[in-house]
């Protein structure tokens, strides 16, 4: 009796579903409320396929037809990786939904879902023992800095930028980028913003050993991050504006061995917004 009462009480909180393995060829996802398949997303996910990231496909069984209302990209990824639409996938099947209910669920399925922020993803990768994140964390801590969710002196919050620099340019560019910023501004807030990190990384990657560390620290250290940001905004949006602004300061009052700005754009397909002019930053 008690169990029956509990079952009735919990009924409203437990979806009335069952699970089946269904071949992909027997699944339909052509409803009008569905979004178009992103081939780019399918190709990218297939290239990094991980069976543990495959979630059950949500299916509404109406009139004997299995309509997918959550998971259409999942089935395309599995079909591509396996090379067959005969491949079965686990499906969570609803037998009592109307078309309008499917559309409503599809439209609102992520409405109250909290997405992971880059810091949370990074720390989960640390717990998983993934090499890239462990390497980045170790590198940051070698400069007596920490990776944190909130900005404080001596912390880096732009973890996605750290990962991007590491993946795009490699360990040594990231190492030197952190070294230059830490040595120039001593870990003050905003010195490790995404734009600053990307801006310095682009300089390091573009000029290599021609960019002299001590000269960089001496000249750029005379300016606050706010001054650099203000100049960067006047030149160009994003981190490229920061690279231009810092290069302008670095080259100021130099009679020789100036760094050609054109090297900044060798892989960008863009040109300076206006010529770099010598400016006395005191």
Examine residue 147 and state whether it is found in any structural domain, yes or no.
yes
Strands 146-147 and 155-156 turn out to be parallel
Answer yes or no: do 154 and 252 share one domain: yes
Bridge partner list, 60: 67, 94
Q: Strand, helix or coil at 106?
A: helix
Distance CA 90, CA 81 (A): 16
Examine residue 280 and state whether it is found in any structural domain, yes or no.
no
Structural domain ending residue among the three candidates 108, 139, 155: 108
The count of domains in the chain is 2
Write down the pLDDT at residue 251: 94
Answer yes or no: do 136 and 96 share one domain: no
pLDDT in tens, the chain (282 residues): 556 555 666 777 888 899 999 999 999 998 898 889 999 999 999 999 999 999 999 999 999 999 999 999 999 999 999 999 999 999 999 998 999 999 999 999 888 888 889 999 999 999 999 999 999 999 999 999 999 999 899 999 999 999 999 999 999 999 999 999 999 999 998 999 999 999 999 999 999 999 999 999 999 999 999 999 999 999 888 999 999 999 999 999 888 889 999 998 875 544 444 444 433 333
Answer yes or no: do 12 and 126 share one domain: no
Answer yes or no: do 126 and 231 share one domain: yes
Answer yes or no: do 242 and 179 share one domain: yes
Domain at 46, CATH number: 3.90.1530.10
Write down the pLDDT at residue 268: 54
Examine residue 85 and state whether it is found in any structural domain, yes or no.
yes
Structural domain ending residue among the three candidates 108, 126, 143: 108
Answer yes or no: do 75 and 94 share one domain: yes
Answer yes or no: do 95 and 137 share one domain: no
Answer yes or no: do 149 and 195 share one domain: yes
Domain holding 36, by residue range, is 2-108
pTM of the model: 0.78
Distance CA 235, CA 240 (A): 9
């Amino acid at each position: 009796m008690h169990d029956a009462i509990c079952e009735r009480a919990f009924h409203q909180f437990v979806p009335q579903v069952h699970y089946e393995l269904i071949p992909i060829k027997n699944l339909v996802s052509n409803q009008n409320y569905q979004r178009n398949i992103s081939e780019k997303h399918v190709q990218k996910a297939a290239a990094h396929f991980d069976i543990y990231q495959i979630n059950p496909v949500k299916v509404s069984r109406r009139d004997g037809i299995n309509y997918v209302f959550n998971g259409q990209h999942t089935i395309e990824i599995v079909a591509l990786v396996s090379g067959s639409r005969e491949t079965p996938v686990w499906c969570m099947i609803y037998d009592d939904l109307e078309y309008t209910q499917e559309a409503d669920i599809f439209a609102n399925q992520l409405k109250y879902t909290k997405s992971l922020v880059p810091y949370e993803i990074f720390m989960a990768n640390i717990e998983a023992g993934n090499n890239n994140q462990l390497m980045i964390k170790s590198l940051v801590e070698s400069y007596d800095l920490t990776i944190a969710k909130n900005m404080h002196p001596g912390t880096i919050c732009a973890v996605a930028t750290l990962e991007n620099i590491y993946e795009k340019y490699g360990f040594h560019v990231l190492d030197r980028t952190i070294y230059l910023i830490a040595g120039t501004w001593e870990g003050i807030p905003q010195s490790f913003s995404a734009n600053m990190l990307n801006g310095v990384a682009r300089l390091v990657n573009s000029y290599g050993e021609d960019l002299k560390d001590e000269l960089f620290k001496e000249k750029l250290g005379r300016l606050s991050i706010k001054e650099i940001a203000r100049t960067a905004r006047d030149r160009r949006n994003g981190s490229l504006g920061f690279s231009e602004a810092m290069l302008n300061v670095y080259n100021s009052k130099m009679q020789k061995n100036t760094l050609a700005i054109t090297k900044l754009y060798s892989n960008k397909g863009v040109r300076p917004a206006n010529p770099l002019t010598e400016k006395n930053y005191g």
